[in-house]
Chain A
Amino acid sequence: MVKIIGGFFAGVTVIGLLVYNFAGSLMFREVPSPFGVEETVARIQQNILNAGNGWSLSGLRNAAKPIEADGGNVLPVLMIEACSTKYSAPILKDDSLRFLSNLMPCKISVYKKNDGKTYIGLMNAQLIGSLFGRKVGEIMGHVAADQAKFIVFDASKPAPAMIKGGSGAAGGGAAGAAGGC
């Protein structure tokens, strides 16, 4: 009996440690960008606008701005907000899934780190979606596939202009509501 209980707790510990170590990196991805912060944002925005599937830009939020307004400094963090009505509508129509509106609009963050390089942060939409049943898993699988295309860059094309999207980029406040969510 002691061995069973001991084994159970050992199992809890091992699984707990595994989850603690890997859950974060499974839920989110970070990839380096070959461009600066603004150019990375602008190129992702263009990719979103060209993606089809109902995708549109909902805004651009600068998470560093409120901190600056409060007298502090952080390296720039720009969050591109995008939404696809094709994917959001089925979720928002379902009363049992409407709480997932918390995850909308989709965000891709672009930030600089202390090594001076620019990185792109993405949510693993497929994995997170799979936690909420088949319907959401399937939709989020499509979102993940599109997201993967958003961060493919054609360096031969000149840098497009960053779309500031209302007050979000400049002031860190509410973003413009051009998108579908």
Chain B
Amino acid sequence: MTSRLKYLLAIAAAGALLAAPATFAQTAKLEPIIAPPTQPASAVPATAKAETASTADHSKFKALQQNFKTGPQVTEACLTCHTEAAKQVQHTKHWTWESVDPKTGQKRGKKNIINNYCTSPVSNEKDCMACHAGYGWKDNSFDFTVEKNVDCLICHDTTGTYRKLPGYAGHPVYERVEFPKDSGKFVEAADLKKVAQSIGLPSRSNCGSCHFFGAGGNGAKHGDLDSSLQHPGKYLDVHMDEKGLNFSCVTCHATEKHEVSGSRYNVAAAVKGPAHIRGKTDASPAACQSCHSDKPHSGRMDILNTHTAKIACQTCHIPEYARDAIGTEASWDWSQATVMGPDGKPFARKDSAGRRAFDSKKGAWVWDSYVIPEYRWFNGASTYKVIGDKIDPSQTVHINEVGGEPNAADSRIWPVKVHRGKQPYDKVNNYLTVQHTGGEDDTALWHNYDWQKAIGAGMKAAGLPYSGEYGFVSTDMTWPITHMVAPEHDALSCAQCHSKNGRLQNIAGVYMPSRDGNRLLDLAGWTLVLLSLLGVLIHGGLRIYTSKKKEQLK
């Protein structure tokens, strides 16, 4: 009994001893430590700027020394030397807004799909064609064969002054206008002569003027493309880092005959083989493997090469997308459009970060930034719902479904952005509707806030019957993520996937150690461990017991 008391007292004394430093923490004094003088900060490396390698000074060309009144006049001048350029452009998706699925023959592209952002350009051409590489597409009558309507400047302007605004059917503004209307902000008329004389290879700003602002907002659509990529740091994209490799978009999206490689309609999802020289003929020059090969890891990390048959590079090397305060839209709810404020007038509201959250014209949005991707098996091909395709409104409508399956040779696990929405559909005919939104006419949703008129006009333009009854259906759209590649040290760690609740917890069809297991096998293993432990304890206990017995017998 006495010994037990001593034992308890000793424990209490130890506890008191440990607690003492915390109790007297406020009286503890430390001598100030003087840090050694730091080395002067090394000069920040100058921004790497690509020097102009062009052999032609376009300001010296006679054809460009005229006071152009319109964009098509500039194109006519361009074509005097670049005789085949317009014909080449007219074969690309930037001109046709159409893409044909090589497997199914399905016609896709902006012209044919109803997405769950702005929905469809049909009947809204005057606004949407601000992002068409052409002039004058204002309705179904647009002639796709007229060469002078190809817009060279939107991709080749180097002045940064050439802007195309919604409402002008793809033309730049030819006189100073207030934009947005009643905002007090003005856009100057394009100085077409100056722009025409200052052309060059497409820069990040050229591509970004449309691709960063898809769905009518900075970063809204893609998630991995926004204006932060105009001057990106290394953290945001290791290839485009302005002070480092400083890639432009076309460094990877190598172009041949104006056809830009790397379309999301035909993604190179599973490229095999070694790296090869950039710029050579290549089926998929925009793929990571074209520079890095399908076995990019070496030394201690070469075990990771065993992953490349199942996992896209992007899965590990783009741990999050929209990695900036700009963010990206997670959802767009059109059913909230036409909801008015308490005073019966349209209103708009922003979210805490200053991004659009509600607008009586367009509905409600939810934004997110630094987004953890979802993951899908993907073979590079997606099937799309196009205008007129039947839907089942009792379920979420998948506007596109990425192809691919576990263990297929052409499939990899890819990171994706899934954009969710609610949008109108024809309740009788069971298809998504086209609605006329932009413009000042009586049927434009953003003018009259009347869904019936807007859908009626949109469906008429699309050439589809409208029953007169509309509802709202939940939809989603899946976007493979491939930009915003993080530096090597920020790639996903093993445990971020190899764990029960890891990134790939919902990916089926592949065995992943630490995520997957066989219950019976696990049970048998743990039973063996416990039995071993029990054996050691019994054995040790018996040894102690018998040695004490022997001592007592002595």
Contacts and interface: CB of A to CB of B under 8 A. Distances in A.
Contacts of A97: 26
A104 interface: no
Interface stretch (A5-13, A47-55, A79-87): A5-13
Nearest to B371: A116
Interface stretch (A146-154, A155-163, A173-181): A155-163
B147 interface: no
A178 to B, nearest CB: 18
B371 A7 contact: no
Contact of B496 (A69, A70, A114): A114
Interface string B314-332: 0000011001010000000
Contact of B372 (A37, A72, A116, A136): A116
A89 interface: no
B10 A7 contact: yes
Contacts of B11: 7-8, 10-11, 14-15
A181 B369 CA distance: 32
Interface string B346-381: 000111111001000000000111111000000000
Given A5-B10, A8-B13, A114-B496, A73 B354 contact: no
Interface in B16-47: 17-18, 22-23, 25-26
Contact of B25 (A12, A15, A131): A131
Contacts of B496: 114
B519 interface: no
Contact of B6 (A3, A16, A36, A42): A3
Contacts, number: 113
B18 A159 contact: no
B300 interface: no
A115 B319 contact: no
A73 B489 CA distance: 9
A39 B355 CA distance: 11
B12 A11 contact: yes
A46 B279 CA distance: 55
A133 B15 contact: no
A116 B372 CA distance: 6
A19 B486 contact: no
A72 B349 contact: no
Contacts of A4: 6-7, 9-10
B490 interface: yes
B370 A7 contact: no
B468 interface: no
Interface string A103-127: 0000000001011100000000000
Contacts of B369: 37-38, 76
A129 B193 CA distance: 70
B190 to A, nearest CB: 32
A152 B127 CA distance: 44
A115 B320 CA distance: 11
Contact of B14 (A8, A133, A136, A158): A8
Contacts of B14: 8-9, 11-12, 15
Q: Please report whether the interface of chain B is mostly helix, strand, loop or mixed according to DSSP.
A: mixed
Nearest to B351: A159
A126 to B, nearest CB: 15
B244 to A, nearest CB: 9
Nearest to B6: A4
A11 B10 contact: yes
A97 B501 CA distance: 45
A28 interface: no
Nearest to B357: A159
Contacts of B325: 170
B7 A7 contact: yes
Contacts of A11: 10-15
Interface stretch (B134-142, B167-175, B231-239, B544-552): B231-239
Contacts of B319: 73
A72 B490 contact: yes
What bracket does the count of chain A residues touching chain B fall in? Answer: 35 or more
A164 to B, nearest CB: 9
Contacts of A3: 3, 6-7
A37 B367 CA distance: 11
B9, B22, B351: most-surrounded residue (chain A CB, <10 A):
B351
A7 B351 contact: no
A118 B513 CA distance: 28
A123 to B, nearest CB: 15
B8 interface: yes
A68 interface: yes
Contacts of B541: none
A67 B235 contact: yes
A31 interface: no
A140 interface: no
Contacts of A21: none
Contacts of A170: 325
Contacts of B349: 158
Contact of A73 (B235, B241, B353, B501): B235
Given A8-B14, A11-B13, A75 B351 contact: no
B18 A12 contact: yes
Given A8-B11, A132-B25, A72 B489 contact: yes
A172 B351 CA distance: 22
B145 to A, nearest CB: 48
Contact of B352 (A16, A41, A68, A71): A41
B350 A161 contact: yes
A75 B236 contact: no
Given A8-B14, A11-B11, A76 B370 contact: yes
17 contacts: A3-B3, A4-B9, A7-B7, A7-B8, A8-B13, A11-B10, A38-B351, A41-B352, A68-B236, A69-B233, A69-B235, A72-B235, A73-B487, A76-B369, A131-B25, A132-B25, A161-B352
Given A15-B11, A71-B235, 17 more contacts: A3-B6, A3-B7, A7-B7, A7-B11, A11-B12, A12-B14, A15-B14, A70-B235, A71-B233, A72-B490, A73-B487, A75-B320, A131-B23, A133-B26, A158-B349, A159-B352, A161-B354
Interface of A: 3-12, 14-16, 19, 36-39, 41-43, 67-73, 75-76, 96-97, 99-100, 112, 114-116, 131-133, 136, 158-162, 170
Q: Across the A-B interface, give the 7 residue pairs with the lowest CB-CB distance, nearest first.
A: A11-B11, A11-B14, A7-B10, A42-B352, A71-B234, A7-B7, A8-B10
Interface of B: 3, 6-15, 17-18, 22-23, 25-26, 233-236, 241, 319-320, 323, 325, 349-354, 357, 367-372, 486-487, 489-490, 496, 501, 503
